Amino acid sequence: MRKLILQPVFIIAILVFVSSCRKDLEPGNSTINATIKVEYDTTTDGNFNYPLQGISVKLSNLLNGNELTVQTDNQGRASIGGISAGQYSVAATITLPAATYTNITGIPVTEDVVYNASLTSITINSAADNNIALTLQTGRIGDWVIKQIYFAGSHRTLGALFRDQFIELYNNSNKVLYADSLYIATLIGVNNSSPDLNTGFYLTQGEFAGQFDWTKSIDMPAGINANDDYVYTKSLYRIPGTGTTYPVQPGASIVIAQTAVNHKAPFTGVDGSTVQVQDPSLTVDLSKAEFEVYAAPFLTRPLASDVDVPSAVNLIPLLIFGTDFIIDNPGRDGYAIFKTTADVENAYPRYFAPNVQTPGNQARYFQVPRSVIIDAVETQPSEESSRVPKKLRASLDAGFTFVPAGSYSSQSVVRKTLKTVAGRKVLVDTNNSSTDFTFFNIANPKGFAE
């Protein structure tokens, strides 16, 4: 995490840009101006005298991907002139050094505190007022982090397709943690980039336009903030244990495999067939994974590759999506881990997606309070035109990550390393996956990115 030194800045905005990007943001004789106002969420972070000057605001053109970065003045404002009409995303971030945060709030902390805000789709044109408001929030920084997600899978014919997918969780603290009763969820939401394909659902409007509007779900109670204060699970699994069964040392991780075998080598499927790849270099060895999802006993027609590996502990399924722990390989998922003392299966309600028509035999999804989530990561497709409305609010993940080569590329996203303390790697965790993650060209269980 880069430390921010808070110094007086005597100009309204500092524009930092590459000239080619500026040209694309300002084609022709465009004279459209925009004003960005940034403030802090005092309802969750307290009404302290947080600095408004020097907040970094990034404006991204959704058509061509070009970016422009500005810094706010001492009123939290930044003015941008001469940009072209179009659709933009905007994100704001500021890092408060631990000593600065403690001095402002009186709350002792040992790590820097990061505040984020983001809007995924803003229209800027001559007909709009182009006054953009952003509210900074600090997310929960947990001891557990999602370290690596291998969703892309490997080559359809030469590799293992999707059966080699995995998620890696990491103990980012300096103490022993226990994986017992950790919940791992993939999140449900709009997965179509075109609004015309989502007309069968009630969708949100305004700053987070285009995602499911859960307030319209059948039996959703009034008086709760169904869209902002909760996430909804597409799949949900729990690690078993009695509380101290599965210790994880500081700086160590656990791998949760779809199937915990060496995918580079042939193995026998549940139907007696041989499962193998043509090019072992494209896939991964998951034979040392600590955990796996064995879904076959719960399905009418399990996959041949879904074998029960004795060396890996089976997760407890609460909600299975599809025919195994299959992650969306274009990358249109959100992921969350959480712990709670509640009896999730009985205490957490489940709701239909907000269908315009009365739902028939569709699935219902667990509603999980945002307050219990330890870490969350959002992924997106590599192609900008294929990206879908954002599922996670800025307090959980202000950005998103992706693998540049896309589906079936063998690539995985992996969290960056911040520093090494007495041989223990501390990973970056600012609640913004756009800056926290990079990628491996070939997924690498237990590997580190520098």
Q: What is the mean pLDDT of residues 56-79?
A: 86
| Token couple for 99 | 């000593």
**pLDDT given for residue 177 in this prediction:** 95
- DSSP code of 71? E
Q: What pLDDT is recorded for position 205? A: 85
> What is the C-alpha to C-alpha distance for residues 168 and 103, in angstroms, rounded to an integer?
36
Mean pLDDT of 14-18: 36
Read off the pLDDT of each residue in 96-121 and give the average, rounded to a whole number.
83
pLDDT value at residue 122: 81
Residue 14 predicted with pLDDT over 80: no
Tens of pLDDT along 181-210?
A: 999 999 999 998 876 677 789 999 876 788
What are the respective helix, strand and coil percentages of the chain, to the nearest 5? 10, 35, 55
pLDDT one-digit tens code per residue, 40-57:
987 766 788 899 999 999
Query: Which comes out higher in pLDDT, residue 84 or 158?
Result: 158
The pLDDT-based confidence of 167 (bands split at 50, 70, 90) is very high
What tens digit of pLDDT does each residue of 405-436 get?
Answer: 999 999 999 999 999 988 999 999 988 999 99
Band (80; pLDDT cuts 50, 70, 90): confident
- Asked whether residue 21 carries a pLDDT value surpassing 60, the answer given is no
For the record, the structure tokens of 405 come out as 């080569």
Q: Is the pLDDT of residue 127 over 80?
A: no
Per-residue confidence (pLDDT) for residue 1, from 0 to 100: 36
Percent of the residues in the chain that have a pLDDT greater than 70, as a whole number: 91
Dist. CA 428–CA 66, nearest whole Å: 25
Of residues 4 and 282, more confidently modeled: 282
What whole-number distance in Å separates Cα of residue 23 and Cα of residue 190?
A: 33
Look at residue 266 in the predicted model and tell me its pLDDT: 97
Averaged pLDDT score across all residues of the chain: 88
What is the structure's pLDDT at 12? 34
pTM of the model: 0.80
Domain 19-136: CATH superfamily, name plus number:
Immunoglobulins (2.60.40.10)
- Any idea what DSSP says for residue 272? S
Distance CA 98, CA 286 (A): 39
The pair of three-digit structure tokens given for residue 207, joined into one six-digit string: 């700053």
Ranges for all domains in the chain classified under CATH 2.60.40.10: 19-136
**Strands 56-61 and 67-71, sheet pairing:** antiparallel
Give tens-digit pLDDT for 291-316.
Answer: 999 999 999 888 999 999 999 999 99
Closest by alpha carbon to 407, among 148, 165, 187, 193? 165
Confidence of residue 248 (pLDDT cuts 50, 70, 90): very high
Sole residue written with tokens 């075998």 = 261
Q: Report whether pLDDT(371) > 80.
A: yes
